[in-house]
Structure 1
């Protein structure tokens, strides 16, 4: 296992912001993980785990804790379950985008709407990654993890992970390091039903339609590109974390009020009623491409925050606060950041 010291973390994140790691270990071979565990035996705290850095903001002074970058790769198609679903084992460092493509090539459906989401597969349960009508909780069956509290490997059933709207038992805890994941998917020639209007419009089909999975994934990619949310596209708005804020939960009276204003208010799989954070940002008076702090602005194509040259972690956090306060003042709805903060 390769260990480096004083490594800049900014290039390892999609925001491109932040200082160095005091130590950075990179795990490419799962067989080397016990070596890392031995190296950590004198550390008072578990490591900070990093995949592709697509949902993190690293502090300007960096991170004093050991950082483990999970870069393991590989998928294994396993046998079918009694209900016909096919089990697929995936290493934690495997690219989610590549996994979606590989599953489509295998004729397996259930994750095609996650096309274009950056990051590693192992990071997806942390905030129950989801988009355009699908969530990781729909197909996740179990995870193999290292439990730093008990000092041993364990298998966690998906039901034990408390997967909710962009949250889980992993979200605010470093107790577990995800090593591999087991998904259960259906073999089918058609996708799961298209439930998002923008994707249905791109496909020119009614809501609820099922289409070839590759066509569904391509439509999702087109919609994401229009929002500047395909990070390999070379677009000027690509330095982002995707959604900076959770879609906030609202009660019935507020939901009724927001619907009257034309807000996209939806019922989520966890039973909560939530409103689009990007709609709230626009409603609060922020314009596309509007500057917030030095090097940080609203995207030119979507109501989220992006970084430019000269951005700092302190400036990004200040920009988050500016948006949060103005949205609360103008709409009465409190936003909550979903970014994971590393370091001071």
Structure 2
């Protein structure tokens, strides 16, 4: 098992916080990853599986446990049972954007709007990453994972992962444990074989972001190039020379609220309807059927509202910082908390709490953090 000299986590996370762990293991193959995790779990010490470190805020004190670095990589193309589609099985430690670049180069569509998102493939289903109307849930077939409770390796269909808006059964939400404690070993996606010819863009959110008219056709490579440029303008593409990118991307989730609550917000607040999760199939056992079919339940629609708009209109402009703090909102994007130079996790958490309080006071809702918080409180 390749145990290595521990590296301070501030050097391995995009928010640049966190002390050195007591122990560190580098796993470069799936077998090494499984062996390392089983060994750590058997010992019962605190542990952290670390991929790209782009969705973590880690406390300032040394991590009193073992960090297992997921350094596996590789893409396997496989046939799909659906005509016009192909499947990609990708190792968990593979760079996400490198996967998107590969898919686009192969003329495969379904993840191109998620170009430029930092991190690894194994973390993508945990967060159900998404951008501009695309989410990994739309193309995810299954994951291979190892469960902490049993140490067993299994293949789990996407439908059993509890995938929702920036969440899954595997995610450590702030203040609660995941429904299933496990580490992903590989991910299988199913993507449409479209080549690199122009094709109409269906999603309104993506068309709006890229300035496209309804029905306008562009290649997947064009979408990738323009999404990356759009993200770069917002400081959402990692750049060692740009402190605006020393972040975890969007620190707060866009809020999902009821339609009635959304009507209490200013009309200018950007919002998008959320399709309700309906189950249209009603099964009544024949022996119990008495001729009456109950009416369908009334499901209230929900609305996603822009957290960035709420932050800015609570009076916190891009670049905002508290006095004497080295943490600040990005100068390019009000939704990103950034480390402006040796900021501590405590400084970033203080800024996050201040933002939550201002938005709650102004609009009556509490923004929820998107990154996983380790040894730090809001």
TM bucket (normalised to shorter chain) is over 0.9
Per the alignment, residue 228 of structure 1 pairs with: 235
Per the alignment, residue 283 of structure 2 pairs with: none
* 1:268 matched to 2:274: yes
Q: Which is worse superposed, 123-132 or 331-340?
A: 331-340
* 1:286 matched to 2:316: yes
Please, what TM-score do these two structures have when normalized by structure 2? 0.85
Per the alignment, residue 303 of structure 1 pairs with: 334
Per the alignment, residue 337 of structure 1 pairs with: 369
Q: What secondary structure, in the 3-state scheme, does the structure 2 residue paired with 1:257 have?
A: coil
Q: Distance in 2 between the 1:56 and 1:216 partners?
A: 28
Say if 1:233 and 1:20 are closer, same or farther in 2 by CA, change over 3 A. Answer: closer
Contact 1:51 1:70 in 2 (8 A): yes
- CA distances 1:304-329 after superposition (whole Å, capped 9, x unpaired): 21111131011111111000001100
Shift of residue 182, structure 1, vs aligned partner: 0.7
Q: What secondary structure, in the 3-state scheme, does the structure 2 residue paired with 1:222 have?
A: helix
Q: Distance in 1 between the 2:240 and 2:114 partners?
A: 17
Matches within 5 A, 1:188-207: 188-189=194-195, 190=198, 193=201, 195-196=203-204, 200=207, 203-207=210-214
Q: Distance in 1 between the 2:114 and 2:52 partners?
A: 16
Shift of residue 81, structure 1, vs aligned partner: 1.4
Per the alignment, residue 220 of structure 2 pairs with: 213
* Number of aligned positions between the proteins: 342
Give the ranges of 4+ consecutive aligned residues of structure 1 lying more than 6 Å apart after TM superposition.
none
Q: Which has the larger radius of gyration?
A: 2
Shift of residue 34, structure 1, vs aligned partner: 4.1
Contact 2:38 2:148 in 1 (8 A): no
- CA distances 1:61-94 after superposition (whole Å, capped 9, x unpaired): 0321211111111001011213432111000000
Matches within 5 A, 1:36-51: 36-37=36-37, 39-40=39-40, 42-44=42-44, 47-51=47-51
Say if 1:306 and 1:69 are closer, same or farther in 2 by CA, change over 3 A. Answer: same
Shift of residue 225, structure 1, vs aligned partner: 1.1
Q: Distance in 2 between the 1:118 and 1:31 partners?
A: 25
Say if 1:326 and 1:20 are closer, same or farther in 2 by CA, change over 3 A. Answer: same
Q: What secondary structure, in the 3-state scheme, does the structure 2 residue paired with 1:76 have?
A: strand
Contact 2:244 2:338 in 1 (8 A): yes
- CA distances 1:27-72 after superposition (whole Å, capped 9, x unpaired): 1122323431453253225731111110101110032121111111
Say if 1:81 and 1:192 are closer, same or farther in 2 by CA, change over 3 A. Answer: farther
* 1:318 matched to 2:358: no
Shift of residue 235, structure 1, vs aligned partner: 2.2
Q: Which is worse superposed, 287-296 or 201-210?
A: 201-210
Per the alignment, residue 185 of structure 1 pairs with: 191
Structure 1: unaligned runs, 5 residues or longer:
none
Say if 1:292 and 1:14 are closer, same or farther in 2 by CA, change over 3 A. Answer: same
Shift of residue 194, structure 1, vs aligned partner: 5.2
- CA distances 1:88-125 after superposition (whole Å, capped 9, x unpaired): 10000001100000001111110000100000010001
Contact 1:12 1:53 in 2 (8 A): yes
Shift of residue 338, structure 1, vs aligned partner: 1.4
Contact 1:128 1:167 in 2 (8 A): yes
Q: Distance in 1 between the 2:96 and 2:204 partners?
A: 21
Q: What secondary structure, in the 3-state scheme, does the structure 1 residue paired with 2:347 have?
A: helix
Per the alignment, residue 62 of structure 1 pairs with: 62
Shift of residue 202, structure 1, vs aligned partner: 6.8
Q: Distance in 2 between the 1:252 and 1:46 partners?
A: 41
Contact 1:19 1:62 in 2 (8 A): yes
